[in-house]
Structure 1
Amino acid sequence: MTAAYLAAFIVGGIAVLSALFLVDFGHGAGHDGLPFLSLTGVSAALLGAGAGGLISSWAGFGAVGSGLVALAAAVVLMLAFQGLLLPYLRRQESNSQKSRSSYIGLLGTVTLDVPVGSWGEVAFVDSEGNRVRARAITEEPDVLTKNTSVYIADVDADYLHVVAVPDH
């Protein structure tokens, strides 16, 4: 029986890591209806059953006791993943996507000259109040020198696209 728990632990551990790192866990099978039937939920249950069964059988609980501990550990770990870990990870995922596009329209200051045809650096405060430094490029005809006020007009994967803001 210990071999079965060991196999469940190994397969569950690999499946949990795969689900967290390789699969888009925020969407998919079971997410809309029965979240515990998702790949991550089943993987977490398998990992919990393997870990609980191994520990309880090593502690000498017997077949029935180990089975009950394995079942309880499976339920607890599945609920912990579905109720605590995955919502946190989904929130982080959506925040990182939102924050980059939310830079458009903000004002910043050049901290490293932005030459024509190359990149420099700008600093600004994002919508959540965090100070951000990012690489920037411009289509302006002249170099944007240090301390120039800029407007963030667009973003892409590598750079912020900025334009100079005239001083009044």
Structure 2
Amino acid sequence: MTAVLIACFAVGVVALAGSLVVGEFGGDHQIGAGGHGDGISFLSLTTIATAIFGFGAGGLGTKFAGGGDALQISVGAAASVGLVALFRGLLLPYLQRQQSNSHFGRSSYIGLLGRVELSIPVDGWGEVSFVDPDGSRVRAKAKSAEPNVLPTASRIYITDVDDEFVHVVGVPEI
């Protein structure tokens, strides 16, 4: 049981650190069909990582306190649910309010240049990165009306934005 708890703790820490570095708080890295531009979906990397971390941390804490396997599982599950509730109920709304208080809205992305991070198919979406007017690197889901696939590393120009996507066109290399 100890190996499972240590693995959950380690995977949770690594996934939370990755989510922090990649920057998921914009809702652009959602898993599942729950997100429509209204924040982080319930099955996001950050939420899942928080649950896994909570299970590992709660279970390991109980193990080190001398609890048996059943108690470790129970406390780990309770810690998991508690941390997710704390994250989703208190921390996430605060972070989203802070994001909406920024000086620049998504409409300020129009006219910026960037590059494709995940290729953008003709009838699908991919991912682009660019620098916002504040100088911060932004990664966003993108769609294009181009007749061809926009491959990874190609230059793009942002023509429009909506709640979920930035709309881009390819920019030829000079």
Amino acid at match of 1:11: V
Q: What's the offset of the Cα at 1:68?
A: 0.4
Q: What's the offset of the Cα at 1:18?
A: 1.6
Please state whether the residue corresponding to 1:36 is helix, strand or coil.
Answer: coil
Determine which of 81, 87, 90 is the counterpart of 1:84.
90
2:44 matched to which residue of 1?
A: 38
**Structure 1 CA distance for aligned equivalents of residues 10 and 80 of structure 2:** 14
Alpha carbons 1:11, 1:47 under 8 Å: kept: yes
Q: CA RMSD in A?
A: 2.8
Alpha carbons 1:57, 1:66 under 8 Å: kept: yes
Please state whether the residue corresponding to 2:16 is helix, strand or coil.
Answer: helix
**Structure 2 CA distance for aligned equivalents of residues 88 and 37 of structure 1:** 19
Cα deviations across residues 85-137 of structure 1 (Å, max 9, x unaligned)?
A: 111112212212448x9xxxxxxxxxxxxxxxxxxxxxxxxxxxxxxxxxxxx
Alpha carbons 1:36, 1:78 under 8 Å: kept: no
Q: What's the offset of the Cα at 1:40?
A: 0.9
Alpha carbons 2:8, 2:53 under 8 Å: kept: yes
Structure of larger gyration radius: 1
Q: What's the offset of the Cα at 1:32?
A: 3.0
Q: Superposed, which structure 2 residues align to 1:19-168 within 5 Å? A: 19-27=19-27, 28-30=30-32, 32=35, 35-98=41-104, 156-157=133-134
**Structure 1 CA distance for aligned equivalents of residues 92 and 45 of structure 2:** 12
Amino acid at match of 2:50: A
1:13 matched to which residue of 2?
A: 13
Please state whether the residue corresponding to 1:90 is helix, strand or coil.
Answer: helix
**Structure 2 CA distance for aligned equivalents of residues 21 and 97 of structure 1:** 22
Q: What's the offset of the Cα at 1:157?
A: 4.4
Cα gap change, 1:91/1:6 in structure 2, threshold over 3 Å: closer, same or farther?
Answer: same
**Structure 1 CA distance for aligned equivalents of residues 16 and 71 of structure 2:** 25
Q: What's the offset of the Cα at 1:22?
A: 0.9
Cα gap change, 1:86/1:15 in structure 2, threshold over 3 Å: closer, same or farther?
Answer: same
**Structure 2 CA distance for aligned equivalents of residues 17 and 86 of structure 1:** 16
**Structure 1 CA distance for aligned equivalents of residues 74 and 134 of structure 2:** 50
Alignment gaps of 5+ in structure 2: 108-132, 136-174
**Structure 2 CA distance for aligned equivalents of residues 66 and 39 of structure 1:** 24
Amino acid at match of 1:22: V
Alignment gaps of 5+ in structure 1: 102-155, 159-168
Deviates more, 1:85-94 or 1:24-33: 24-33
Please state whether the residue corresponding to 2:25 is helix, strand or coil.
Answer: coil
**Structure 1 CA distance for aligned equivalents of residues 86 and 73 of structure 2:** 20
Cα deviations across residues 71-90 of structure 1 (Å, max 9, x unaligned)?
A: 00000011111111111112
Aligned residues: 105
TM-score when scaled to structure 1? 0.54
**Structure 2 CA distance for aligned equivalents of residues 23 and 50 of structure 1:** 23
